[in-house]
Amino acid sequence: MSRGTARRAPTGGSMMMHETDFTPLLEVRDLQVAYGGIHALKGIDLHIAPGELVALIGSNGAGKTTTLKTLAGLLHPTSGQIQYDGKSLKNIAAHQRAAMGIALVPEGRGVFARMTVAENLLMGAYSRSDKNEITTDLERMYGLFPRLAERKDQLAGTLSGGEQQMVAMARALMSRPRLLMLDEPSMGLAPLMVQKIFETIRDIAALGMSILLVEQNARLALQVAQRGYVMESGAITLSGAASELLGSDAVQRAYLGS
């Protein structure tokens, strides 16, 4: 199978790509996660190249959020391997992964409601000591999210849902990540705000950052991504170029409403 071709595995298992001609920033092999009597991830494989935007789509309960939490170190796998920048993440705690450049913007945003926008953003740089660069990055965030510049002294809990999503994204970027993971950034937002958020995701990707995007709006996710994975019941069932997944009959029937 050629790299990037979207099709199902002939044996009924997960369809994955062959060995690639680059060193992935993130490589996941046979990752399995079980908790509370649930076998949440059933041996998934995926990879992300440096500077690549990859979408992970699937229905509710498919295991998408579990995947992100496991990569971030918030959940522990029962087996499998996670390699980041050529190094194993086994026994690496969540805060250590963040310091290594892995940032998660969680579903529900998780802003510090009683802190100002500026204070929330500075929390993203808690592990950094380069004060001058932190100040520079703060101004960069205000350039990337002009709405936040207007509200930098406002309590985050008083912002709209879309503005809180901007805070969560900017806070993650303040850690200077190499891999940004976004969990359902459009959830609960008005269409106009969804458009603004995805325009910003495009802008961040254009800067060369690696992004793993989990999003229920499959069409929107695949329109901004370079590649995509389809997850069903804890397994990767389809993968390939985003444009090919958009044209896939199976993806259209299941996720695109056609």
Predicted confidence (pLDDT) per residue in 150-159, tens digit = 999 999 999 9
Average pLDDT of the segment spanning 137-163? 95
With 70 as the cut, is the pLDDT of residue 129 above it?
Answer: yes
The domain ranges of the chain are: 1-92+221-258
- Reply yes or no on whether the pLDDT at 7 is more than 60: no
SS3 assignment, position 87: strand
pTM confidence score? 0.87
Residue 111 has pLDDT above 70, yes or no: yes
61 backbone φψ class: left, alpha, beta (φ>0; ψ -120 to 50): left
Structural domain 1-92+221-258, CATH architecture: 3-Layer(aba) Sandwich (3.40)
Predicted pLDDT of residue 127: 82
Distance CA 110, CA 113 (A): 8
Asked if residues 212 and 179 have their Cβ atoms less than 8 Å apart, the reply is yes
Average pLDDT of the segment spanning 15-22: 42
Percent of the chain scoring above 90 in pLDDT? 77
Q: For residue 109, what pLDDT is reported?
A: 73
Average pLDDT over residues 3-10: 42
User: Tokens 């004060």, residue?
Assistant: 131
When pLDDT is averaged across residues 157-168 and rounded to a whole number, the result is: 94
Rounded Cα–Cα distance for residues 57 and 51 (Å) = 19
Which pLDDT does position 124 carry in this prediction?
93
Asked whether the predicted pLDDT for residue 50 surpasses 60, the reply is yes
Helix H segments across 124-208? 131-144, 146-150, 161-173, 191-206
CA–CA separation, 179 and 234 (whole Å): 22
Tell me the pLDDT band of 255, cut-offs 50, 70 and 90.
confident
Q: What is the pLDDT of residues 86-108, one digit of tens each?
A: 999 999 999 999 999 999 999 88
